[in-house]
Amino acid sequence: MTIACVIPAFAQPALLAEAVQSAMAQTLPGTMVVIVDDGCPMPETRTTALECAALHPGRVHVMRQRNGGLSAARNAGIDYALCTFPDLRAVYMLDADNRIHPHFLQRALVALESSPRVGWAYPDIDDLGPEARWDTGGPFLLAPLLHDNFCEAGSLISRRMLDAGLRFDTTMRQGFEDAEFWLRAARHGFEGRHIPQAGFRYRRRAESMLADSERLRPVLQEEMRRRNPSLWQPHNLLRLEAEELPRHAIIQPGATDVRIALDPAAGDSVSRQEFRQLLAAARATPDHHAVPGIVAVLAAGVADVLSAHGLLHAVFWRAAMLLRDQPVVALLLHAEVPVLGMRLAEGALDASHGVFIATASLLDDPARIATLLHDARAMRLDVSCTGQVPRPDDSPLMEAAAEVALLPAAPPAAAWRRPWRTPLHAVIRQVAARTGIGIMRPARPGGRNIAIVQPLHAHGGVERVLLQQAHVLRSHGWTPHLVIAERPDMTPLPGLHEAYASVNFFPDSGYESWSDPQRRYFGAEVSAFSHHTPAADAVGLLAGMDVVLNTHSMACHSLVGRLRRGGVRCLVGLHVVERDGWGMPVGQAHSALAYEHAYDGAIVISDALARWCTAQGWPREKITVVRNAPGYDTTIAPPRRDHAHRRLRALFLGRLDAQKGLERLSAIIRDTRGFVDWRVVGKPVLDGAPPDLGIAIEPIMTAPDALDALYSWADVMLLPSHFEGVPLTILEAQRLGCVPLATDVGAVAEAVSDGVDGLLLPNDARCEALAIDALRRLDKDRVALAALSQNAVSRLSSARWEDTMQPMLALLDGLMQR
């Protein structure tokens, strides 16, 4: 049996003999030493090596090579040992200024051969020089290795690992080459094993190669990430968090078990007793015991209610962010509110639906947590639900207080060495933070997840388009998630929860207006959001997705570069090209030009918009056209229209804002009331006072049957907008034979063939007069009206989202295969 100690020698001849002596004093039989003189210019290195060979005949092998650095010398020693010692079992890396106690290799070999998965055995680090003693114990996990290199270079490496071709990277000459080596070994499926009471002495001097490396730490860590990118990808971090360091311990009052999971909808259960033991052990050695970073006590039924509203993951994610600054956060659900949302408040714990506790605070000072719970006031996360919720009570508070009280007053004895590793409950968060990612949404990657980002979600056309697209995506194996960027709440459209698996909100609101005036792109706004701290958390929200579709969120633009580097494919959805009253370019289409290089593609709703994009510089092959179809599923067939003997009926349906040409609408209504029955349905976007149109304004309708009734009633739908994309209302009206009368803006002409299935108006001063004229003609010529109506029905008979979405589905499949 042979173990080879490889000792690279360069510029430390006085200490070399000590290292060799400690290797030769090993109690493990068959220990050989291979000294690799790495081209050292000091003759003393050579003579010391030869004297060691003379002192230990046949057991010390000495060679010299051209200077190649520490990694090259180690590799040369490894290759020599593999070729020369046929019964070699392992190779030990011993730096020339370190030492090992006599039983080190024997104990290391026991650890190394304890499991076929173990590729290397690593020691605690007992400083030589300083008096520090460092504990690297605890289970071997890959996630902590991404944060701290707790595997010293002075580790015993199995022959299997070396036969697999693993060697030190010779291009890393400034340090951390051992850390990079272990990470690469882990990628190849090997794992490390701690050696208890190993007896490894590490010489630590004020100035050394390590001191130099520490000064270059950020640079070298970036270098390691560059060489092992897959390990730091957010998907991998989430996978590691789920498998090794689950974030949550979820307790239900009265239940006998505790669910340990990253994903609050999943996870494995352990008994309360096991959890209490884990918590107690983690008080002493948080670097050894993987206790979840968050303890969540949820009243019965609360998780189900949150899941039903698609808010479960959003609530846990938000709680994690709050727990960075607060040790305790309460949860309170509000029932039967028309909007879904989350807000912060301060409130009582004794009437709540849940309590979240930061484990770090609990381990550090359980008495303080007990006091906070006793005082029964905390930061509170208020969640609005549209349905019913359980009655809040004090059961979460009492359960949390009981668990805290069961923690032993005095912590158990800690390991006497100072911990080298970061507390396990903080590892993933710190690893992610180093790559610019904040709190990650707590869901394990798997399947095909697509986040659809919108600044707000009310009853606008864009929201309805995206909802329909989400339905189609879901039926094709995608899991859509709705993300609201600008507001803390949203108004769910019918069918929302059937389309979106979850509803999420950015860390806070107001980010859409954070623009950077110094960096406007040809006058269009550019977001300053990425410069600010909440951006890292927003990245964390999206980093676990496979695809992000950003439709109209300025803040999300600024995140796309980081998301893409993290392996998330990013698309921008463009629906309209806008200008303000002064003719300045505004809106997403213009701003998106500044981010084109960061996106994998753009989804546009019309040929006109596609031409505009390519004309502005988008590569043609990055543009995918997904035409709109009606924004809801109709409940009826196109009605028989018997309008010959009655007044003409006209409808306006939409937001009551300047874009829609309200001044034109007002004039047209005024001049046609004598022969047209009008209905106006809509509301201002910003909840301001409704305009005076001379008739009563009906509230917005969203229910399909109400919309069907509205379109069935109207003969004509007027849309005198200054700019549009492809309004859904035109398609919905046409589907039921309601004739559109619309300005030729945006891609309206792609939805309406003038004189065939609708009428187009010029977007200028002639609009009003021509609209009035058209209404008069239709009023007089009901046959022409009927023909237009019939043609409109025919045009929309084959317009289905399933069909219009095919190019996007193909694009997404292509992105996933890259």
Q: How far is the CB of 107 from other proteins (least distance, A)?
A: 9
- 411: contact with other proteins by CB under 8 A: no
Q: How far is the CB of 96 from other proteins (least distance, A)?
A: 14
- Comparing CB distances to other proteins, the nearer of 125 and 363 is 125
Q: How far is the CB of 415 from other proteins (least distance, A)?
A: 6
- The two tokens of residue 709 are 């009734």
Q: How far is the CB of 367 from other proteins (least distance, A)?
A: 24
- Comparing CB distances to other proteins, the nearer of 409 and 696 is 409
- 113: contact with other proteins by CB under 8 A: no
Window 496 to 515, contacts with other proteins (CB under 8 A): none
- 409: contact with other proteins by CB under 8 A: no
Half-sphere exposure at residue 262, Cβ-oriented, CA atoms within 13 angstroms: 22
- The two tokens of residue 6 are 């490889």
Q: Which one of the spans 194-202, 287-295, 373-381, 455-463 is the region binding other proteins (CB under 8 A)?
A: 194-202
- 414: contact with other proteins by CB under 8 A: yes
For 278-336, the three-class secondary structure string (H helix, E strand, C coil) is HHHHHHHCCCCCCCCCEEEEECCCHHHHHHHCCCHHHHHHHHHHHCCCCCEEEEEEECC
In the list 7, 16, 36, 220, the residue contacting other proteins (rule: CB under 8 A) is 36
- Comparing CB distances to other proteins, the nearer of 37 and 241 is 37
In the list 69, 138, 199, 327, the residue contacting other proteins (rule: CB under 8 A) is 199
- 83: contact with other proteins by CB under 8 A: yes
Q: CA–CA separation, 681 vs 698, rounded Å?
A: 5
- Comparing CB distances to other proteins, the nearer of 198 and 805 is 198
- 712: contact with other proteins by CB under 8 A: no
- Comparing CB distances to other proteins, the nearer of 47 and 475 is 47
- Comparing CB distances to other proteins, the nearer of 79 and 214 is 79
Radius of gyration for the chain, computed over Cα atoms and rounded to the nearest angstrom: 34
Q: How far is the CB of 158 from other proteins (least distance, A)?
A: 21
Query: Is the distance from CB of 659 to CB of 721 less than 8 angstroms?
Result: yes
Window 583 to 612, contacts with other proteins (CB under 8 A): none
In the list 5, 7, 76, 161, the residue contacting other proteins (rule: CB under 8 A) is 76
- 415: contact with other proteins by CB under 8 A: yes
Number of residues binding to other proteins, judged by CB under 8 A: 46
Task: Classify residue 550 by its DSSP letter.
Answer: E
Q: CA–CA separation, 7 vs 23, rounded Å?
A: 10
Q: How far is the CB of 165 from other proteins (least distance, A)?
A: 17
In the list 41, 57, 254, 583, the residue contacting other proteins (rule: CB under 8 A) is 57
- Comparing CB distances to other proteins, the nearer of 37 and 724 is 37
Between the alpha carbon of residue 756 and those of residues 650, 741, 787, the distances in Å are: 18, 12, 8
Q: Which one of the spans 74-82, 305-313, 560-568, 671-679 is the region binding other proteins (CB under 8 A)?
A: 74-82
Q: CA–CA separation, 330 vs 779, rounded Å?
A: 62
Query: Is the distance from CB of 609 to CB of 725 less than 8 angstroms?
Result: yes
Residue of 551, 533, 583 whose CA lies nearest to 723:
583
- 152: contact with other proteins by CB under 8 A: no
Residue of 728, 765, 773, 724 whose CA lies nearest to 744:
724
Q: Please list the alpha-helical segments (H only) found in 56-207.
A: 70-84, 104-112, 142-147, 159-163, 177-187
For 99-116, the three-class secondary structure string (H helix, E strand, C coil) is EECCCHHHHHHHHHCCCC
Q: CA–CA separation, 767 vs 743, rounded Å?
A: 7
- 336: contact with other proteins by CB under 8 A: no
Query: Is the distance from CB of 94 to CB of 100 less than 8 angstroms?
Result: yes
- 197: contact with other proteins by CB under 8 A: yes
Q: How far is the CB of 369 from other proteins (least distance, A)?
A: 26
Estimate to the nearest angstrom the gap between the alpha carbon of 227 and the chain centroid: 22
- 210: contact with other proteins by CB under 8 A: no
Q: Which one of the spans 184-192, 196-204, 254-262, 434-442 is the region binding other proteins (CB under 8 A)?
A: 196-204
Task: Classify residue 410 by its DSSP letter.
Answer: S
- 539: contact with other proteins by CB under 8 A: no
Q: Which one of the spans 125-133, 215-223, 346-354, 618-626 is the region binding other proteins (CB under 8 A)?
A: 125-133
Residue of 539, 383, 517 whose CA lies nearest to 453:
539
- 39: contact with other proteins by CB under 8 A: yes
Element (H, E) at 118: strand 118-123
- Comparing CB distances to other proteins, the nearer of 34 and 593 is 34
In the list 413, 615, 644, 696, the residue contacting other proteins (rule: CB under 8 A) is 413
Place of tokens 């937001």: 655
Report helix, strand and coil shares of the chain as percent, to nearest 5.
40, 20, 40
Identify residue 67 by its one-letter amino acid code: N
Produce one character per residue of 787-806: b if its CB has 16 or more CB atoms within 10 Å, e if not: ebbebbbebbeebebeebbe
- 6: contact with other proteins by CB under 8 A: no
- 30: contact with other proteins by CB under 8 A: no
- 62: contact with other proteins by CB under 8 A: yes
Residue of 628, 657, 816 whose CA lies nearest to 735:
628
Instruction: Compose the 633-652 pattern: x for residues touching other proteins by CB under 8 A, - for all others.
Output: --------------------
Q: Which one of the spans 102-110, 538-546, 683-691, 698-706 is the region binding other proteins (CB under 8 A)?
A: 102-110
For 187-244, the three-class secondary structure string (H helix, E strand, C coil) is HCCCEEEEECCCCEEEECCCCCHHHHHHHCHHHHHHHHHHHCHHHHCHHHHHHHHHHC
- 795: contact with other proteins by CB under 8 A: no
Q: Which one of the spans 32-40, 235-243, 310-318, 461-469 is the region binding other proteins (CB under 8 A)?
A: 32-40
Q: Which one of the spans 43-51, 207-215, 269-277, 771-779 is the region binding other proteins (CB under 8 A)?
A: 43-51
- 27: contact with other proteins by CB under 8 A: yes
- 165: contact with other proteins by CB under 8 A: no
Q: How far is the CB of 104 from other proteins (least distance, A)?
A: 8
Q: How far is the CB of 416 from other proteins (least distance, A)?
A: 5
- Comparing CB distances to other proteins, the nearer of 138 and 445 is 138
For 494-527, the three-class secondary structure string (H helix, E strand, C coil) is CCHHHHCCEEEECCCCCHHHCECHHHCECCECCE
Window 347 to 406, contacts with other proteins (CB under 8 A): none
In the list 15, 19, 20, 35, the residue contacting other proteins (rule: CB under 8 A) is 35
- 103: contact with other proteins by CB under 8 A: yes
Which segments of 527-654 are extended strands (E)?
547-551, 569-574, 578-579, 585-586, 601-604, 623-625, 648-653
In the list 20, 23, 60, 303, the residue contacting other proteins (rule: CB under 8 A) is 60
In the list 41, 87, 116, 131, the residue contacting other proteins (rule: CB under 8 A) is 131
- 49: contact with other proteins by CB under 8 A: yes
Instruction: Give the list of residues 6+ apart from residue 564 with CB closer than 8 angstroms, or none.
Output: 570, 598, 599, 600
Residue of 380, 394, 382 whose CA lies nearest to 328:
380
Query: Is the distance from CB of 13 to CB of 44 less than 8 angstroms?
Result: yes
- Comparing CB distances to other proteins, the nearer of 416 and 582 is 416
Which residues bind to other proteins, rule: CB under 8 A? 27, 29, 34-37, 39, 46-47, 49-51, 53-54, 57-66, 76, 79-80, 83-85, 101-103, 106, 126, 131, 133, 196-200, 413-416
